[in-house]
Amino acid sequence: MTSAELAAVGVTPESIAEAIRSTPCAWVATVDDEVAGFAMVDLDSACLFALFVRSDHEGRGLGSALCQACEQALFAQHEAAWLETAKSSRAARLYRHLGWGKESNIGDGDIRLSKRRA
């Protein structure tokens, strides 16, 4: 998503900064001291809110590692967690591979996936 698309759904530098200030909920993956990806959860709603890896760093396990960090935080407080993503995205394939399921269509080509604590 572009910065404008993120801002249109309320994801701005200010909203992210406030979320991080309010509770530990974000992780950053680095490669050679450079940000390669990040992830965030909303602990109140049990949502894996964002997980992005730069395209030039895909296929290195960063997405899986970030997802695992998110799951540990979410499942420490909740029995189940959820996320939303585009049905045909690479992200959806990754989440399914990592055990996210109970897929439901939410419109505009997007799906909701959920996962229960093991």
Domains of the chain and CATH, by start: 3-116 (3.40.630.30)
Q: Is the pLDDT of residue 19 over 80?
A: no
| Per-residue pLDDT, 13 | 80
Question: What is the rounded CA–CA span in Å between residue 108 and residue 110?
Answer: 6
Question: What is the rounded CA–CA span in Å between residue 83 and residue 69?
Answer: 15
Average pLDDT over residues 42-52: 94
Question: What is the rounded CA–CA span in Å between residue 22 and residue 11?
Answer: 16
Q: For the chain, give the percent of residues with pLDDT over 70.
A: 99
Q: Is the pLDDT of residue 67 over 90?
A: yes
Average pLDDT over residues 100-106: 94
Q: What is the DSSP letter of 112?
A: E
Average pLDDT, the chain: 91
Confidence of residue 3 (pLDDT cuts 50, 70, 90): confident
Q: Is the pLDDT of residue 88 over 80?
A: yes
Q: Counting every residue, how long is the chain? A: 118
| Per-residue pLDDT, 7 | 83
Q: Is the pLDDT of residue 51 over 80?
A: yes
| Per-residue pLDDT, 102 | 92
